[in-house]
Amino acid sequence: MGHGSSHGHPHDHPHEHPRSEAALDQGDLAAVVDMAIPDAELSPGQVSRRQMFRRAGLLGAGLTAAGVLGTPAAASAATPRHTGGGREPRGGYLWLAGDHHIHTQHSSDGMYKVSDQVGHGAAYGLDWMVITDHGSVAHAKIGVEKVNPDIVAARRDHKETLVFQGLEWNIPGAEHGTVFVAPGRNEVSTLKEFENGYDGSVKNAGASTPQNEALAIAGLNFLADSVRRRRVDGALFLANHPSRKGLDSPHEIRGWRDAQPGIAVGMEGAPGHQAAGIPRPAGPGSGRGFYDSTPGADSWPGYPPESYKTFGGFDWMTSTVGGLWDSLLAEGKGWWITANSDAHAIHADTTVRGGGDFNADGRYDDPAYGGTLNVNAGDFWPGFYSRTHVGARSFDYLAVMEAIRQGRVWVDHGGLISALVVRARQSGTGQLGVSLGDTLHVRKGAKVEVSIEITLAGVPNWAQVVPALARVDVIQGDVTGPVTDPDAFTTPSTKVVSSYEVGKNSGTVTFTYKVGAVDRPVYVRLRGTDGKRSAPGLLGAAVDPHGPAIDVYGDADPWNDLWFYSNPIWIVPRG
């Protein structure tokens, strides 16, 4: 997704310009963000700046690590391991935090070096990352090759972090998506051939036409064939910011998944660009995720106006109980959600894009560090706010890809919780049960329960606040099989079936949801919140009494509206 730092409105009215406000020298800013210095010892101007950052939740480690004073080393030194005890297995898996949507100077709207992004992501606790520069003519021609040595160097320099090479695919006839492959001798050639043959920008195939939709399927078939012929050991596709412009129609999503269920496995449940919602003057004052669009010529006409906005920072497809995501799950389709940074330009950073001729070189020159504080940027560093946790069998590339493919995934914002272990099992048997993305098979009429173990935050997030989980919701739906209308985007039986109040922010809490006697296939998924912003769901209070509220354009502080979501577990009776 491309967004510069445009102010977005004409400068014909008097107000304190955030860039002027932010034009601080490092020594001045150091005093502002050093909370050991009381307000009374600051100058009036410094107090004003501190108040601006305080309102935005950026004081302390958040601003220090993200902004002009921040370095990956400093962030690493200050990073509490949000990954739930580091690499200790939980529930039989290593839960590895990651981000599959990151841009560099090899994107036409990016600027950071690969080492900048990987260094920060690793410092903020990420175990795996995917570099996804935009597909384009220049990238397809030379960029996809030029970025590889930088990725190889990052793998060498950050051995505790897995760094995949991918690209942000301009899906023919639709939106953007992450495509990435397993590292190996053919990773570059496979991505290059894929981009040249199937990218919507390269092939001038962006319009929503049947021909372009078919080209998208052909691209997924190419990836599947590359895996089948062992050209690469793995390939995955995830749709990015699926509701941003209304381009990803329900039938296209079903078409991708049905064509290659081992390749097309899910979508961003929450888009990146979460800092975009920080109100002015401390932030861009836009929509979280830069979800600020209205229907266009290629938008699918059936989507409601609300779909172009986020709810608690999450995409409408995910946040609507009984909506499009649930419609797919009710069909029995494994379609998983993630949360990522979409990092192009970092909020409150001072980096300035390097020069050069992008179209000729396939990249910008290295950036310059030390400009003015850019509070108009809408992104967070990878791992700073959005995390995708995958349950891997081991710490390696193929294990991460297998975990994503199987749906052993939960996501969170702002370090709301530290760890989540969910198991469905037959009641009274003492069985360990199955985890997220898996299917529990029981005899018809058997009683089933879902055990939930949550390790609460216990440590400050990067806004210097220890998040407090207020409530956990259990969402259940019937599995009713394939729909007759491929553009269906609701399902009638899914609703919130149980809620648990938490009210603490450290230690571990456990809950047991009694599914009861199972006489039909169902699925269960979880959602949790800090409880600061809620509203009845779009399909009514009887379906979702306390769901995420629609985000207010220009006034959506991401640190004061935190949620986590899990992927589902299926429960299928036999007989």
Q: How many helices (H) and strands (E) does the chain have?
A: 15, 20
Tokens of 252: 């296209």
Mean pLDDT for the stretch of residues 513-522: 98
pLDDT of 190 > 90? The answer is yes
Token look-up 């912003």 returns 533
Band (pLDDT 50/70/90 cuts) for residue 541 is: very high
Q: Which pLDDT belongs to residue 3?
A: 39
Q: Report the Cα 410 to chain-centroid distance in Å.
A: 10
Q: Which pLDDT belongs to residue 58?
A: 54
CB distance 172 to 209 below 8 Å: no
CB atoms within 10 A of CB 574: 8
Tokens of 520: 């039909």
Burial of 432 (0-12, 13-18, 19+ CB in 10 A): exposed
pLDDT of 17 > 60? The answer is no
DSSP 493: S
- Pairing between strand 386-392 and 94-102? antiparallel
Mean pLDDT for the stretch of residues 403-408: 98
Locate the domains of the chain by residue range: 95-573
Return the closest-CA partner of residue 380 out of 310, 281, 285, 289.
289
Q: Which pLDDT belongs to residue 123?
A: 95
Average pLDDT, the chain: 89
Q: Give the integer Cα–Cα distance in Å for 342 and 242.
A: 13
Band (pLDDT 50/70/90 cuts) for residue 124 is: very high
Rounded to a whole number of angstroms, the CA Rg of the chain reads: 23
Mean pLDDT for the stretch of residues 150-167: 97
Helices (H), 305-381: 316-319, 324-330, 358-361
Tokens of 138: 């220049």
Q: Which pLDDT belongs to residue 91?
A: 87
Selected from 3.30.230.10, 3.40.50.720, 3.20.20.140, 3.40.50.510, the CATH number assigned to the domain covering 95-573 reads 3.20.20.140
Return the closest-CA partner of residue 279 out of 57, 97, 110, 72.
57
Q: Which pLDDT belongs to residue 1?
A: 46
Q: Report the Cα 63 to chain-centroid distance in Å.
A: 21
CB distance 442 to 448 below 8 Å: yes
CB distance 571 to 439 below 8 Å: yes
CB atoms within 10 A of CB 36: 6
pLDDT of 363 > 60? The answer is yes
pLDDT of 337 > 80? The answer is yes
The H or E element that residue 121 is part of is helix 114-123
CB distance 276 to 378 below 8 Å: yes
Collapsing DSSP to helix, strand or coil, 416 comes out as coil
Q: Which pLDDT belongs to residue 27?
A: 41
pLDDT of 164 > 70? The answer is yes
